Amino acid sequence: MKSNHDTIAAVSTPRGESGIAVIRISGPESQPIIKKIFQTDKKISAFRNRRVYQGWITDNREKIDEVMVTFFFSPHSYTGEDVAEISCHGSPFVTKRILDLIIKHTARLADPGEFTKKSFLNGKMDLSQAEAVADLIHAKTEASRRVALYQLEGNLSDKLAEFSQQLVQACSFLELELDFAEEDIQFTSLDDLQKMLKKIDAELKKFLDSYERGRLCREGVRMAIIGSPNVGKSSILNCLVEKERAIVTEIAGTTRDTIEDVLDIEGVLFTITDTAGLREVQDPIEKEGVRRAEKTLKDADIVLLVVDGSKSLSSEDKKIISRIQKQQKKLLGVINKSDLRQQISADKLKKLLNTEEVLLISALTKKGIDMLINSLKQTVISGDLPMHGELLLTRERHKQAVFRTREYIHHALKAMNEKMSQEFIAFDLRQALDSLSEISGKKTTDDILNYIFSEFCIGK
């Protein structure tokens, strides 16, 4: 049976050939294992903390690889346990041979994220910081890096700790008054308590309001290019990503599947999906393409609606517009083929879309593409990149915890207004405190922990 006190090991660098690879060992057997498999010319009576030793990994005196070994002793290590890191040559065969040897000497293979999980369980970081580690590993843009790093530094944890302390203080006042009810002693007025709770609630609302922006910084923006067949959707995708990503022909219905690529627009990651033209079809393959296009539309954060400016709006165009508007998506209208004689009025399309901006572009000549890229950023995220020091909620788990915290605070305020017993008010505030503590991991379940750390790569 697995235990949090097991000695674990894994390759912490990516798979494949490389100049070096790093194998990490964490747990009480880290030093004993290294002493059994590591051979050095220098006489070492005892390994020293944060020192690098050069030598050979050997198996029954057979040299496997020349390596550098670094020790980090408990509690001054990433996991809070004794840790050894072996820097070896980056051959997949070599790393596997060394890892197999380590496991042979009482260690076991680490689960995904288990090193970071040990760090959390040993109090080296809280749960929100552990999640930030995963976010930093997966960061693909400057915005996602900044948000993850600020959370990793503990700034979100510190701010939430302030709120928690204020809730603890409020609960303490109420519970003290309950203890001294017979003496009729009041430690704080309900008016002061209401002001405190309303202030906390207002700050938590700012966090909730920041979630959409934080999520987009962390996950990126899902954008669907939607329109009738042959309006130039695939050509626009190719222009945006600056490569021939999608096949372009004059034949309507060329795109029968969704085609996806990514674009970094000033630090914001856009995942752009070109879709099959939305229309009524009988061909089973094209019908599946239309179904996937509809799913992409449903999942999108923003929709780029493309119409052919060289033709009047068709009934299909109008049906597509109606379908998008029913889903209440962020919408950017584009009139393509501006190099041809225009049959569509931009003002008329603005009115139909109920938007202030419709772009006139030509995917053929690339005219207007720069303007489109700028409009995409402004449509999704107004303002600049998140600055260092800006707190943003980035995860659904955090959002739900803050939402529940505010609900309990609202219950407490309502109980005060209705002159209910202070026992009920204190209970609601304790519930609010528990909900807020879920973000840091002070109150959580094994299922939540297992889910969070399963998102990590093995070796981190």
What gap in Å lies between CA 167 and CA 420, rounded to an integer?
Answer: 19
pLDDT at 249: 47
pLDDT at 425: 87
Rama region for 262: left / alpha / beta (φ>0; ψ in -120 to 50; rest) = beta
Give the number of domains in the chain: 3
Examine residue 385 and state whether it is found in any structural domain, yes or no: no
51 and 108 fall within a common domain: yes
280 DSSP assignment: -
Q: Is the peptide bond before 112 cis (omega within 30 degrees of 0)?
A: no
CATH of the domain at 181: 1.20.120.430
Query: Counting beta carbons within 10 angstroms of the beta carbon of residue 402, is it exposed (0 to 12), middle (13 to 18) or buried (19 or more)?
Result: buried
pLDDT at 255: 47
pLDDT at 439: 93
What gap in Å lies between CA 276 and CA 289, rounded to an integer?
Answer: 6
182 and 225 fall within a common domain: no
The HSE-up count of residue 307 (CA atoms within 13 Å, CB side) is 30
Question: What are the E-state strand segments in 176-329?
Answer: 221-227, 259-265, 268-274, 302-308
The SS3 call for residue 13 is coil
Q: What is the distance of C-alpha 197 from the center of its chain? A: 30
What gap in Å lies between CA 356 and CA 362, rounded to an integer?
Answer: 20
pLDDT at 221: 87
pLDDT at 256: 47
Query: Counting beta carbons within 10 angstroms of the beta carbon of residue 356, is it exposed (0 to 12), middle (13 to 18) or buried (19 or more)?
Result: exposed
187 and 336 fall within a common domain: no
pLDDT at 102: 97
60 and 79 fall within a common domain: yes
89 and 180 fall within a common domain: no
Examine residue 3 and state whether it is found in any structural domain, yes or no: no
Residues 6+ apart with CB under 8 A from 139: 145, 148
Quote the domain boundaries for residue 41: 8-126
- Residue ending a domain, choose from 126, 161, 192: 126
Tell which residue, 229, 428, 223, has the closest CA to residue 314.
229
Examine residue 278 and state whether it is found in any structural domain, yes or no: yes
372 and 230 fall within a common domain: yes
Examine residue 31 and state whether it is found in any structural domain, yes or no: yes
244 and 376 fall within a common domain: yes
pLDDT at 126: 93
What gap in Å lies between CA 140 and CA 275, rounded to an integer?
Answer: 24
Q: What is the full per-residue pLDDT of the chain (460 aa) written as tens digits?
A: 687 889 999 999 998 899 999 999 999 999 999 999 999 887 766 788 999 999 999 998 899 999 999 999 999 999 999 999 999 999 999 999 999 999 999 999 999 999 999 999 999 999 999 999 999 998 888 888 888 998 999 999 998 899 899 888 888 877 665 555 555 555 557 788 888 899 999 999 988 998 988 888 888 888 888 888 888 888 888 888 887 755 444 544 444 457 888 888 877 889 888 876 665 555 566 566 666 777 877 888 888 899 999 998 888 888 888 888 888 778 889 999 999 999 888 888 888 888 878 999 998 999 999 999 888 878 776 555 565 557 789 999 999 999 999 999 999 999 988 888 888 888 999 999 999 999 999 888 888 888 888 888 888 8
pLDDT at 114: 95
153 and 243 fall within a common domain: no
Scanning the structure block, which residue is given the tokens 């749960």?
A: 127
Examine residue 448 and state whether it is found in any structural domain, yes or no: no
CATH of the domain at 81: 3.30.1360.120
pLDDT at 254: 47
299 and 432 fall within a common domain: no
Q: From residue 152, give the alpha-carbon distance in Å to each of 141, 148, 233.
A: 16, 6, 40
The tens digit of pLDDT for each residue in 142-197 reads: 888 888 998 999 999 998 899 899 888 888 877 665 555 555 555 557 788 888 89
206 and 344 fall within a common domain: no
The tens digit of pLDDT for each residue in 307-363 reads: 999 998 888 888 888 888 888 778 889 999 999 999 888 888 888 888 878 999 998
Tell which residue, 360, 362, 364, has the closest CA to residue 349.
360
pLDDT at 250: 53
